Amino acid sequence: MKLYTENYPAPNPRKVHIFLAEKGIDNVERIHTKMMERMHKAPDFLAKNTLGQVPVLETDDGKYISESIAICRYFEALHPAPPMFGRDPYDAAMVEMWMRRAEFRLWNPMGQVWINADPRTAAVIPKQFKDYGEHSKAVAAHAMKWLDKELSGAGPYLVHDYFSMADIVLLCGIDFGRFIHQEIPDDCKHLKAWHERVSARPSAKAEGVKGAAPLKI
């Protein structure tokens, strides 16, 4: 199998890199799809994913799977241990709940900050909506404060004592927030403690394409 991917800080590919590291899966060929060289928008790549986004997984029989969570679910079915999407029906529901919360409450507004308020995207998005981007900063900060309250008195991870795909999704969102200067608010001590725990896991440092330079934006 081949994984068309990009290095840190690209957040969606990073979810797959961390997931594969947690699973101990190391036999997937990594194809460096250099976003700064617009390789993800080239015709040959668009034939794999018409949205022109990484990551994309090419299966052994020549099929293509896009979207990071879909790719991880595919690997979960092939390699069920250790389970990353739930140990039982309740866990599975909680993992799904927290993934959706992380994506809708945090990833969405952070994406709008990146698209509409960051000068580094102006070259490819000349018509930025600055006011909406600034508003999205406040929405993302509010989401982190809500997460902080949810984590108070909880276990070490989002689903109690169980590190799951939900933690990976939130970690990659929080770290991408730091990349776009959207830091965890100072008073969010529970969220900061959670971030320190998950960042200390070896998988959090998983490489995308070994030996290749990080993505420079």
pLDDT digits (tens, 9 = 90+) for 47-79: 999 999 999 999 999 999 999 999 999 999 999
pLDDT of 89 reads 98
pLDDT of 207 reads 87
pLDDT of 64 reads 98
Average pLDDT over every residue of 179-194: 97
Average pLDDT over every residue of 107-125: 93
Q: Is the pLDDT of residue 212 over 80?
A: no
Residue range 2-82 forms a domain whose CATH class is alpha beta
Residue range 89-202 forms a domain whose CATH class is mainly alpha
Average pLDDT, the chain: 95
Q: Which residue pairs, CB below 8 angstroms and at least 24 apart, start in 185-193? A: 185/141, 185/144, 185/145, 185/148, 187/145, 187/148, 188/144, 188/145, 188/147, 188/148, 189/148, 190/148, 190/149, 190/151, 190/152, 190/154, 191/144, 191/147, 191/148, 191/151, 193/151
Q: Is the pLDDT of residue 149 over 70?
A: yes
Give the start-to-end residue ranges of the domains of the chain. Answer: 2-82, 89-202
pTM for the full predicted model = 0.95
pLDDT of 105 reads 97
